[in-house]
Structures are given as C-alpha cells and as structure tokens.
Amino acid sequence: MKIFNPTVISFLLLSFFACNQASNAQEFVKDVATQLKKEPGTIVDVRTSEEWNSGHHTKAIHADWLSDDFRKKAATWDKNKTYYLHCAAGGRSSDAVEYMKKNGFKKVYNLGGYDGIKNLK
C-alpha cells in the first residue's frame, strides 16, 4: 500500500480550490453583467475616497459608507430605482445594502468586492 506525501495532497487540494474560486469569480461577473442588462441600475462604490481614487468602475458613483457621505447621498436617491453596491471585499457593501433596505429601498444588491467587477462592461 502506497502512502501519498501530505505535501502533494495539500498542493492538489489547494489547486482544486483555487481553480474552483477562479471559475466562480468569472461566473459571478457574468451573472452580474446579465443582471445589469436585465435590470439596469446605479453602481455605487462604498469604499473610502482613497480606495476610490486608486481605481473605480467607470459607471459607478461614489458614496463612502464609513462617512456621513453615504447617508447624505442615499437620502436623495429614488427608493424605487435599482442599486448595485460594492466595496473592497463585500463587508461594507453588505452593511450598506442592509441600511438601504431598512430605509425603504426596494431593489438593492451587493456585488461584493471591487476586484470581482472592475472589468465589468
């Protein structure tokens, strides 16, 4: 009976999960693109100004979740329109989506992190 080297097994498992995540990321962007075509809306980048200035989606508007800026801007938005929020990794945008829903917004979606959508057309 042969015993496999734990290093080889670890490498194979990590390779499998890395490939699976890349595939999921591509599928996520494809799904987002389809959703945006089906239900156009406003992309809202809730990252800080520094993060925004380091690069942002060309069609996004900026509203920093960590400052009063977000709440001030959100108060002026139409609650019946569709909004797609993202941040750097998905945490802040998740909080912002929850805030918007609690404040009467009907169609609000979390796109997760910027890396997942930055090449979205």
pLDDT in tens, 110-119: 999 998 888 8
Tell me which residue range forms the domain holding 101: 6-116
pLDDT, position 115: 87
Tell me, yes or no, whether 121 lies in a domain.
Answer: no
**pTM score > 0.85 for this model?**
no
Tell me, yes or no, whether 38 lies in a domain.
Answer: yes
Tell me, yes or no, whether 79 lies in a domain.
Answer: yes
Tell me, yes or no, whether 56 lies in a domain.
Answer: yes
CATH number of the domain encompassing residue 102: 3.40.250.10
Tell me, yes or no, whether 19 lies in a domain.
Answer: yes
Tell me, yes or no, whether 63 lies in a domain.
Answer: yes
* Mean pLDDT score across all residues of the chain: 81
Q: Residue 51 is encoded by which pair of tokens?
A: 């993060």
State the Cα–Cα distance between residues 37 and 48, nearest whole angstrom.
27
Tell me, yes or no, whether 92 lies in a domain.
Answer: yes
Q: How far apart are the first and last CA of the chain?
A: 53
pLDDT, position 35: 85
Domain count, the chain: 1
pLDDT, position 3: 54
The candidate with the shortest Cα–Cα distance to 30, out of 83, 22, 88, is: 22
Q: Is residue 51 over pLDDT 60?
A: yes
